[in-house]
């Protein structure tokens, strides 16, 4: 009985800590619910000298940025967020190498 209880608690923790993956680039919108955690994963290869940077111009009343995690050259980088309030905002990223911008990506987030 105790083992079943521990298994249920561990399962709840794993599910509640899971971040939803958003991958629709603008002009397509990504829809999530208030309070939901989500991530945007972008390919990043440090051997090429480039990295993604977030532009902090999104509405901080709608989203809270939880930071990024690099998972290696094969898996890229996760940018983690939580939806604070209902609303719509845009999150912009730039792939930079030294002082040059190589690519721009824009994600529209609609919080319901």
Residue 3 has φ and ψ, to the nearest 5°, of -65, -40
pLDDT digits (tens, 9 = 90+) for 61-71: 999 999 999 98
pLDDT at residue 12 greater than cutoff 90: no
pLDDT at 56: 87
pLDDT digits (tens, 9 = 90+) for 65-112: 999 999 888 889 999 999 999 999 999 999 999 889 999 999 999 999
pLDDT at residue 10 greater than cutoff 80: no
pLDDT at 75: 87
Q: Which fold has domain 19-111?
A: Immunoglobulin-like (2.60.40)
For the chain, the domains span 19-111
70 cis-preceded (ω within 30 degrees of 0): no
Average pLDDT over residues 42-53: 90
């Amino acid at each position: 009985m105790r083992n079943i209880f521990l298994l249920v608690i561990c399962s709840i923790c794993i599910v509640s800590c899971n971040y939803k993956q958003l991958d629709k680039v603008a002009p397509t919108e990504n829809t999530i619910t208030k309070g939901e955690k989500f991530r945007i994963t972008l390919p990043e290869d440090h051997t090429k000298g480039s990295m993604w940077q977030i532009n902090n111009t999104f509405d901080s009343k709608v989203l809270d940025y939880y930071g990024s995690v690099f998972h290696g050259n094969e898996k890229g980088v996760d940018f983690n967020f939580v939806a604070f309030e209902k609303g719509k905002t845009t999150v912009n990223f730039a792939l930079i190498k030294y002082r040059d911008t190589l690519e721009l990506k824009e994600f529209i987030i609609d919080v319901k």
